[in-house]
Structure formats: structure tokens, C-alpha cells
Structure 1
């Protein structure tokens, strides 16, 4: 099974192929996608993506995780997350 394709991407809007939802931020994995609500883990642009942000996707037994940095590359990913 492969991850759904990103159908379109523009400022504040991401569409996933085969999904009727328009996301501001999202998590995508083989077989699904959902809104990524930064408030769930207290994520901010700095220090950035927290290990807790990735737990859900990693538990889905993915082989590769791609972390986007946003349109202006403002979202950080600290060493402890990598």
C-alpha cells in the first residue's frame, strides 16, 4: 500500500487525492490522512516538530517519514525529533 498523493498545495491549503477534506496541515500515511493539529502536542515553528507529532504515523509501520517545513520553510525539526 502506498501513501495517498498530494493533489494540490497552496498557502494554508493542502488537498490529498481521493479525500474530500481540505487541510491546513495534515499527516499522510499508507491508507489514510488526517488534520495535523499542532495544539495536540504544543508544536510551534520553533523548536518545531516534536517526536509526539510523528508517533501516530510511525506506529503505522511506515518505512520513510517526510517532514515538510511549510511554504516559507519556517517549521523546524530539532535533532531530538530526527
Structure 2
């Protein structure tokens, strides 16, 4: 199974090839994608991406994980999140 292709990307809008949804933020993995709602885990630009934000995608069995930081790279990725991924 291959990873979804990002069809287009602009400020606040992301389209995944083969998906009719236009996302503001999204998670993608081989075989799927969904809205990434920061409120689910209390994510904010700082302290940034939470371990729980990544857990769902990691459980899908990804071999390579790409963590986007936003158009202005304002979204931080905490060392705790990176440590959790490296331990899996």
C-alpha cells in the first residue's frame, strides 16, 4: 500500500489525491487520511506536536514518518514526541 499523495497545498487548505475533503490540517498514512483536530490532544504551536498526535499514524505501520510544521514552520515538535517515536 502506498502513501496518499498531496494534490495541493496552500495556506489553510490541503487536498489529498483521491479524497474529496479539503483539510485545514490532516494526518495521512498508507491507505487513508483524516482531519487533524489539534483540540483532541491540546496541541498548539508551542509546545507543539504531542506524542498522542503521532500515535495513530505510527500504529498504521508507517515506515517513514514526516511531521509537517506548517507554512511558516511555527508548529514545534517537542523532544518528548520525537523520543516516543524513536522508541516504537
Gaps of 5+ in 1: 77-82
- In terms of fraction of residues, the more helix-rich structure is 2
- Whole-Å separation in 2 of the counterparts to 1:56 and 1:13: 22
Gaps of 5+ in 2: 77-88
Runs (4+) of structure 1 moved beyond 2 Å? none
After superposition, give the CA deviation of every residue in 1:8-52 in whole Å (9 maximum; x if it has no partner). 000000000000000000000000000000000000000100000
Across the two proteins, how many residue pairs are aligned to each other? 76
- Whole-Å separation in 1 of the counterparts to 2:23 and 2:41: 18
| Superposition deviation, residue 56 in structure 1 | 0.5
SS of equivalent residue, structure 1 residue 27: strand
TM-score by length of 2: 0.85
- Whole-Å separation in 2 of the counterparts to 1:32 and 1:45: 25
TM-score by length of 1: 0.92
Give me the CA root mean square deviation. Answer: 0.4
- Whole-Å separation in 2 of the counterparts to 1:47 and 1:62: 24
